[in-house]
Amino acid sequence: ASQLDRKREKLRCLLHYFYRVTELLPTGSITFTRRRLGTAAPDWVNSTRSFDQLRVHVNASGTIEDSGPCTIHVDFANHYLGGGVLNRGCVQEEIMFLLQPELIASCLFVECLDNDETVIIEGTEQYSTHVGYGNTFRWVGDFQQSATDMTRDEWGRWKRTIVAMDATSFSARDNQFEQSKMLRELNKAYCGFCDNLAPHRKLPSVVATGNWGCGAFRGNVYLKALLQMMACCEAGKSMAYYTFDDAKLRDELYDMYQFLSSSAITVVDRTVLWPLFLVEECTREINFLHKIPIHGQPKSSSGLLRSIIRIYREKFCTSGLPSVSLSFVF
């Protein structure tokens, strides 16, 4: 498919929206809440949360939008909200904005997101259905929100909560394993999931997400999944993870979650972040970035975790450095 075909399909979504709203004027309201983490960032090094408190469902079928009104829908956002929705872009964020065109209004007034900022959007309505992704994207037809089980709240908003959060774009894949880069992603995800920021009320208890920042932004899917699990755990949320038809990844991520939860491993209290912080100080012999191939997909994610634990214990736990039980550098 050509770029012209893609733009034609995007235009069909927008024209269908205008057809609908001229036939019947929309009612209700939509709210956009910009939130900044600032000094509310968790003290990750002293966290007492453990993975056995986290509930995770991993699904190869369905989409984030299918997860219903009781979840936070993660928008894999550009730091300029909407990304290329009005240009050539046609990936997760742009498709979300095309199916719910009222989201496009945010492009007018939401400034570039900083590293500790996200946007909570509540009340948008879906008007279209689609198939495909990128060059295969196609408008399929009308979608009637009123025909679903979704209802409105006391403000007239559809009970849909979206969090727009931008991942870091990495020109060099290895950079994402640097301490500062991982902490940035952790804090960004926590800023999107937690209840203690604006609008200062309890958000849905389940985060519906997927391979955040793992396409054009070149994120490592295993690392990003684990960072989101950590953020969910710290925020007291459950997770519904969609692998977008990748059954192998579904099995690997659930296996990894099972290992973490059954071992009652804590999120970071001298358990996860200590070995991450020490990565940059390790020699090539024991540097996990060289010990473990990060570009290929490991055969077993939990097996990889166990290997890293063994390597770390052998090298560090007898040498006077902090005793730890997990590193998740892939």
- Select which of 9, 93, 122, 166 is catalytic: 93
Q: pTM of this prediction?
A: 0.85
78 is in an annotated binding site: yes
pLDDT at residue 295, as a whole number: 40
Hey, what are 320's tokens?
């006077």
pLDDT at residue 268, as a whole number: 61
pLDDT at residue 305, as a whole number: 54
Q: Name the nearest CA neighbour of 204 among 304, 106, 122.
A: 122
| 114 a catalytic residue | no
HEC string of 97-146?
Answer: HHHCHHHHHHHHHCCCCCCCEEEEEECCCCCEEEECCHHHCEEEEECCHH
Q: Which residues of the chain have pLDDT under 70?
A: 1, 268-330
Residue 62 Cα to chain centre, angstroms: 16
| 154 a catalytic residue | no
pLDDT at residue 106, as a whole number: 98
pLDDT at residue 274, as a whole number: 47
pLDDT at residue 330, as a whole number: 36
Q: Name the nearest CA neighbour of 37 among 186, 181, 178, 179.
A: 186
106-118 pLDDT tens trace: 999 999 999 999 9
pLDDT at residue 140, as a whole number: 98
55-86 pLDDT tens trace: 999 999 999 998 988 999 999 999 999 999 99
pLDDT at residue 267, as a whole number: 78
- Select which of 9, 65, 94, 122 is catalytic: 94
Domains detected in the chain: 3-261 (3.40.220.10)
176 is in an annotated binding site: no
- Select which of 5, 43, 65, 75 is catalytic: 75
pLDDT at residue 122, as a whole number: 98
92 is in an annotated binding site: yes
| 75 a catalytic residue | yes
